[in-house]
C-alpha cells in the first residue's frame, strides 16, 4: 500500500465515522446559578437519553440540546456523578439513533480514534488522531480520581467536554473530558465500570459508593513482606477521618493496607475501585501491616456522601 492509498483508507474511515455519528452528537447549552455553560453530548438510548460530562451540567437541572439537522430540544438532567465526571440527560422529544457502546479495555496504543463534539461553540466538529496512552488517571473536581483514562492527540478544546471519542468501528469508547495541553486530550473510558455508572444514572439518577474514610498512597513493600503477601506494592494510610468506618475499626495512620476481604490492595486507587455499592454496610476484613506483623481488623463501609 502506497502513501496515497493509506491516506485514502484513513480518510475513508474518518468520513464514515463522521457521517454515521454526527447526527447523534448534540451541542449542549445550560444555565445555572454559575451562569451559562456549553459542551457536547451523545445519544445513548432510544429513550432519548444523552451522555455528557458532569462538569458540563454542574449546578443545572435543565439544558438544551441542538442537533446537526437543526432541531433543538429541551432536556433535563436525569443524574450526574461528579466522581466519574459523567452525567445523563433526557431530551423532551425524539432524538436521532443512539451511538453504540464500545469497550475501552480493548483499545491499543496507536489505534485510530475520532473526536466529535462542539468545541468553542462550533457544532458538528470532527478531529482525528490516535490513542496516545492508556491507563492515565484524571483527578475530578469532586476530589476523586477516574482510572483507565484514555489519552489522545485528537484535538480537543473547551466545549468538547461530553463529546464522543469513537473507535474505527464507530463505537463510543470514551467521553471527552479534558484538554491537558496541545496534542494531549483525555477521555473517560467506556468500560464495565463506567457502563454500570451510566446504567445507575439512567435508572436511579445517582451512583451509590462505599466509603472507609482513609487517605493514602502506594508504596513499595520490602522484599520480605512482598514475598509473604504476594504483592510488591500496598497502600500506606496517610490519614484517617475521625468517626469514619476505618477509625471505628481501629485503622491507624501508618498502617499498610494489604488486602480487603482477601482481595489485594496495591494502591489508593485500587482500594477506591473496591468501594462499590454492594460493599455498603457489609462487614469486611481489612488486613494491614503494623509494627512488623499482619493485623486483621473488621470494617463496615458506609455510603459515600457527595456534597
Q: Are residues 217 and 145 in the same domain?
A: no
Quick check: is 55 catalytic? yes
* Same-domain check for residues 194 and 217: no
Domain boundary among 158, 192, 207: 207
Shared domain check, 24 and 136: yes
Same domain, yes or no: 14 and 70: yes
**Whether residue 142 is found in the same domain as residue 236:** no
Per-residue 3-state assignment (H helix, E strand, C coil) for 7-30 = HHHHHHHHHHHHHHHHHHEEEEEE
CATH number of domain containing 273: 2.30.42.10
Residues 200 and 109 in one domain: yes
Is there a single domain that holds both residue 108 and residue 183?
yes
Identified catalytic residue from 24, 29, 80, 85? 85
Which among 29, 53, 55, 267 is annotated as catalytic? 55
Model confidence pLDDT, tens digit, residues 156-212 = 887 789 999 999 999 999 999 877 666 788 999 999 889 999 999 999 999 999 999
Q: Nearest-CA neighbor of 113 among 13, 39, 21?
A: 13
Mean pLDDT value across the chain: 90
Q: What pLDDT score was predicted for residue 34?
A: 75
Same domain, 32 and 171: yes
Q: Do 77 and 185 share a domain, yes or no?
A: yes
Q: What pLDDT was estimated at residue 186?
A: 93
Q: Are residues 172 and 299 in the same domain?
A: no
Indicate the pTM of the whole model. Answer: 0.84
Q: What is each CA distance from 287 to 28, 229, 264, 265, in whole angstroms?
A: 47, 10, 9, 10
171 closest CA partner among 39, 42, 71: 42
Residues 136 and 260 in one domain: no
Average pLDDT over residues 49-75: 94
Catalytic residue among 24, 29, 161, 267: 161
**81 a catalytic residue:** no
Mean predicted confidence (pLDDT) in 255-263: 93
Q: Domain count of the chain?
A: 2
* pLDDT at position 295 over 70: yes
Domain hosting 19: range is 1-207
Indicate whether 70 and 130 sit together in one domain.
yes
Residue 24 bears catalytic tag: no
Q: What is the mean pLDDT of residues 31-52?
A: 91
Asked whether the predicted pLDDT for residue 283 surpasses 70, the reply is: yes
Amino acid at each position: 500500500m502506497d502513501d496515497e492509498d493509506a491516506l485514502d483508507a484513513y480518510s475513508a474511515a474518518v468520513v464514515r465515522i463522521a457521517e454515521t455519528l454526527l447526527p447523534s452528537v448534540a451541542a449542549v447549552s445550560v444555565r445555572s446559578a454559575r451562569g451559562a455553560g456549553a459542551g457536547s453530548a451523545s445519544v445513548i438510548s432510544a429513550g432519548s437519553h444523552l451522555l455528557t460530562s458532569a462538569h458540563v451540567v454542574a449546578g443545572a437541572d435543565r439544558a438544551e440540546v441542538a442537533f446537526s439537522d437543526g432541531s433543538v430540544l429541551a432536556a433535563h438532567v436525569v443524574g450526574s456523578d461528579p466522581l466519574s465526571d459523567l452525567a445523563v440527560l433526557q431530551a423532551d422529544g425524539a432524538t436521532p439513533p443512539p451511538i453504540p457502546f464500545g469497550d475501552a479495555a480493548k483499545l491499543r496504543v496507536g489505534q485510530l480514534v475520532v473526536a466529535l463534539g462542539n468545541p468553542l461553540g462550533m457544532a458538528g466538529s470532527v478531529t482525528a488522531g490516535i490513542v496516545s496512552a492508556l491507563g492515565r488517571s484524571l483527578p475530578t473536581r469532586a476530589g476523586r480520581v477516574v482510572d483507565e483514562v484514555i489519552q489522545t492527540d485528537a484535538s480537543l478544546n473547551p466545549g468538547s467536554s461530553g463529546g464522543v471519542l469513537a473507535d474505527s468501528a464507530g463505537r463510543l469508547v470514551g467521553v471527552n473530558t479534558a484538554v491537558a495541553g496541545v496534542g494531549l486530550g483525555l477521555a473517560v473510558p467506556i468500560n464495565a465500570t463506567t457502563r454500570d455508572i451510566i446504567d445507575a444514572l439512567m435508572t436511579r439518577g445517582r451512583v451509590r459508593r462505599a466509603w472507609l474514610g482513609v487517605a493514602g498512597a502506594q508504596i513499595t513493600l520490602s522484599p520480605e513482606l512482598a514475598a509473604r503477601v504476594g504483592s510488591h506494592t500496598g497502600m500506606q494510610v496517610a490519614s484517617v477521618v475521625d468517626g469514619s468506618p476505618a477509625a471505628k475499626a481501629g485503622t491507624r495512620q501508618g498502617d499498610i493496607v494489604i488486602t480487603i476481604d482477601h482481595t489485594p490492595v496495591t494502591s489508593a486507587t485500587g482500594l477506591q475501585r473496591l468501594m462499590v455499592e454492594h460493599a455498603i454496610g457489609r462487614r469486611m476484613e481489612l488486613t494491614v501491616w503494623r509494627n512488623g506483623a499482619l493485623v486483621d481488623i473488621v470494617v463496615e463501609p458506609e455510603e459515600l456522601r457527595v456534597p
